[in-house]
């Protein structure tokens, strides 16, 4: 027990060092943390996911909820509105094309039946908030680009979850109409967002009274967990609710609430110390999340790894071309467009969803799980490497030509 406590303490200091290293060298801390997990897990066998029991997945879910909520508190609703069209197109088109590419490779390389192949594609169709949000915060992108990437990661998580559940229902029960599928997605998004907004308004009304009690700085996070849990129990997206809650708490003026006399006297805003506490919570949870993710990765056979590499390369190539089409406007700099094209890492949602086909007895379920784990590792690694080499002149020149933007080196970044 003493060794475990010692390691936990050392890991925090190690994570601080990695964050500083990221700022100075562009070597992403999330990659190093995940590799630490891979070494002590699958490689050396010191720790296994089973050693964590139910605690591991719970911590991972808490990390995602807190990361999304804290990100919501950093988003400006005015910028969000201007970015919504770009976000929607990027999210839906990139998700659909990723699903098609991965399904096609799975169908041809592993002889997966059609539904399992599509299931594999949908599982890894989205991007992960746990990688995207910490990286874009450190990289200091423009507010508009940051908003696009944060919202994309949250929306595509919903698409993956609803898509996988629907496909499993099709596989086991024989069919689900397209209207039902579309309705499930819209309900999950709209109702979750409404719960988050209403929950945020309600919290602003009681926050002032709650501050009279001692030791309440963590009460807002506890409230976020309540909203997340209730939203999931109702069958909607808790992730979207957590994001919407964070946005509401710092953008209530935009909703016009402060202009209502009765409400204006009752609303209590978040303080600077609250936001600092949330950022620190994200830092700590992120540290253990990525180590746990590395421990959870399964390494399959060589041909599975090669197929995963091919899938990731094709998806990143597609995303690069899609970014060229969507980020033509001068509002997006070369650096913003280039970083956006790199942000296609897969994470916890994909890793969790990958275990479901095997549980449901889907043909090729083990292949889906092992390939997904490899795609998670390869995609995060490639994202990290591309971010790391972007400051090189040759890399910037390549992205300038590919994205059709003027070359502007940013040495201060």
Angle formed by the axes of helices 143-173 and 238-250, to 10°?
160
Considering only 40-44, 195-199, 292-296, 400-404, which range has the smallest mean pLDDT? Answer: 292-296
In this prediction the pTM is 0.79
Which whole number is the average pLDDT over 373-396?
A: 92
User: When comparing pLDDT for 389 and 348, which is higher?
Assistant: 389
Backbone region of residue 27 per phi and psi (left: phi > 0; alpha: psi in -120 to 50; beta: other values)? beta
Name the band, by pLDDT with cuts 50, 70 and 90, for residue 278: confident
Considering only 103-107, 138-142, 348-352, which range has the smallest mean pLDDT? Answer: 348-352
- What is d(CA 289, CA 9) in angstroms, rounded to the nearest whole number? 15
Angle formed by the axes of helices 77-109 and 114-123, to 10°?
140
- What is d(CA 152, CA 129) in angstroms, rounded to the nearest whole number? 9
Lookup result for tokens 């399904």: 103
pLDDT at position 124 is 95
Name the band, by pLDDT with cuts 50, 70 and 90, for residue 397: very high
* Measured CA distances, 373 to 42, 221, 327 (Å): 12, 30, 31
Name the band, by pLDDT with cuts 50, 70 and 90, for residue 27: confident
Give the model confidence (pLDDT) of 398-407 as tens digits.
999 999 888 8
Is 264 in contact with 9 (CB distance < 8 Å)? Answer: no
pLDDT at position 87 is 87
List the domain boundaries for the chain. 54-403
* Measured CA distances, 365 to 64, 106, 176, 221, 399 (Å): 25, 12, 21, 36, 38
Give the model confidence (pLDDT) of 200-246 as tens digits.
989 988 887 887 787 778 899 999 999 999 999 998 888 889 989 99
pLDDT at position 52 is 75
Q: Residues in the chain, how many?
A: 413
Task: Choose among 54, 79, 60: nearest CA to 286.
Answer: 60
- What is d(CA 345, CA 371) in angstroms, rounded to the nearest whole number? 14
Please provide the average confidence, as pLDDT, over all residues in the chain: 84
Q: Tell me: pLDDT of 181 over 80.
A: no
**CATH class of the region 54-403:** mainly alpha
CB < 8 Å & 24+ apart, contacts of 351-359? 351/293, 351/296, 351/297, 351/376, 352/57, 353/123, 353/160, 353/161, 353/164, 354/123, 356/164, 356/168, 357/116, 357/119, 357/168
pLDDT at position 261 is 47
Lookup result for tokens 């070369």: 334
Q: Which residues contact 61 (CB under 8 A, 6 or more apart)?
A: 348
Highest mean pLDDT among 92-101, 299-308, 352-361: 92-101
pLDDT at position 228 is 94
Count CB atoms within 10 A of the CB of residue 77: 15
Is 126 in contact with 149 (CB distance < 8 Å)? Answer: no
């Amino acid at each position: 027990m003493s060794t475990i406590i010692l390691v936990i303490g050392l890991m925090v200091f190690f994570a601080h060092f990695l964050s500083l290293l990221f700022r100075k060298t562009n070597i992403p801390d999330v990659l190093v943390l995940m590799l630490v997990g891979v070494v002590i897990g699958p490689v050396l066998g010191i720790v296994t996911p089973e050693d964590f029991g139910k605690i591991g997945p719970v911590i991972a879910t808490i990390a995602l909820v807190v990361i999304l909520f804290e990100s919501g508190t950093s988003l400006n609703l005015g910028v969000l509105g201007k970015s919504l069209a770009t976000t929607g197109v990027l999210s839906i088109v990139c998700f659909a094309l990723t699903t098609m590419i991965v399904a096609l490779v799975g169908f041809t390389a592993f002889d997966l039946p059609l539904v399992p192949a599509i299931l594999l594609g949908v599982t890894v169709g989205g991007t992960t908030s746990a990688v995207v949000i910490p990286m874009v915060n450190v990289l200091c992108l423009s507010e508009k680009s940051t908003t696009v990437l944060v919202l994309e990661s949250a929306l595509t998580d919903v698409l993956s979850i609803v898509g996988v559940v629907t496909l499993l229902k099709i596989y086991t029960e024989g069919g689900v109409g397209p209207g039902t599928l579309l309705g499930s997605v819209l309900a999950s998004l709209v109702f979750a967002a409404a719960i988050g907004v209403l929950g945020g308004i309600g919290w602003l009304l009681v926050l002032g009274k709650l501050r009279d009690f001692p030791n309440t700085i963590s009460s807002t996070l506890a409230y976020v967990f309540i909203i997340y849990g209730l939203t999931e129990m109702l069958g909607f997206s808790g992730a979207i609710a957590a994001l919407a809650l964070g946005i509401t708490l710092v953008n209530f003026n935009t909703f016009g609430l402060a202009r209502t006399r009765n409400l204006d006297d009752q609303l209590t805003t978040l303080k600077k110390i609250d936001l600092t506490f949330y950022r620190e919570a994200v830092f700590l949870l992120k540290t253990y999340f990525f180590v746990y993710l590395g421990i959870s990765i399964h390494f399959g056979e060589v041909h599975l790894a090669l197929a995963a590499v091919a899938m990731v390369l094709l998806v990143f190539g597609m995303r690069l071309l899609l970014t060229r089409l969507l980020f033509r406007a001068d509002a997006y700099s070369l650096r913003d467009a280039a970083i956006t094209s790199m942000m296609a890492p897969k994470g916890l949602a994909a890793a969790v969803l990958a275990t479901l086909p095997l549980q449901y007895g889907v043909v090729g379920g083990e292949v889906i799980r092992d390939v997904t784990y490899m795609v998670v590792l390869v995609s995060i690694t490639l994202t990290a490497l591309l971010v790391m080499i972007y400051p090189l002149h040759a890399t910037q020149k390549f992205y300038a030509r590919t994205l059709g933007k003027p070359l502007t080196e940013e040495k201060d970044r």
